[in-house]
Amino acid sequence: MSLMSETDNKSKVVACEGREEYSRAAVIDANLAVLLWIALGTDACYFFNHVVAWVFLGVALLLVFVVLRRLVCTNCYYYGKRCAAGWGKLSALMFKQGDIEKFNDSIGIKLAPVIYGSLTVVPLVLGTIATIQHFSVLKVIVLVALLLVGFYSGTISRKRTCAQCKMRCCCKGSAVKESGKGEMKKEIEP
């Protein structure tokens, strides 16, 4: 059974079977993981320079919790609903609903991998430089933890949540392989 979301009088976007909403516990876990990821990145940047760390923290929070919510979540099926991270509800509090038909063409879909990748790469590079300059076990522990959280978030957690998402059959960023992925499916009413 597929879910249909009416977009106008004549066409409907068809989403995959999946969770209508995610549990509060899942949302809390997802947000704690993102905050841990950002905190570890901030710590790694702090080893390099405390001003750089504050800039990284502010930019990371702004990009993850505001900019991507505007660019991606406003066009998602889960807008106004509790998705795996609860960001559909967050985006509904800040922005008006977009158009699900524009989901895959939004700049946010293209920027998301760059932004999330930067949460690991930028602090990893800066933390590695700081570790080479002045070695400490704490720096190595933070960098290893950052790699582990970044890897978990980008692979294991992403595949698990994408597998249950109603947008996985049409989302170009889905970590789950589906036929027709990346194309919005439509049903035309007679």
- Tens digit of pLDDT at every position of the chain (190 positions): 334 444 443 334 557 888 999 999 999 999 999 999 999 999 999 999 999 999 999 999 999 999 999 999 999 999 999 999 999 999 999 999 999 999 989 999 999 999 999 999 999 999 999 999 999 999 999 999 999 999 999 999 999 999 999 998 888 889 887 655 555 444 423 3
100 is in which domain, residue-wise? Answer: 3-188
Q: The whole model's pTM is what?
A: 0.84
* 96 phi/psi in degrees, rounded to 5: -80, 160
Q: Give the pLDDT of residue 178.
A: 62
Q: Give the pLDDT of residue 183.
A: 52
Token pair, residue 37, equals: 């990821």
> What is the number of structural domains in the chain?
1
* 168 phi/psi in degrees, rounded to 5: -60, -30
Q: Which residues pair with 187 in a beta bridge?
A: 12
CA distance 83 to 165: 8
Instruction: Return the half-sphere exposure (C-beta side, CA atoms, 13 A cut-off) of residue 33.
Output: 21
Residue 186 per-residue DSSP state: E
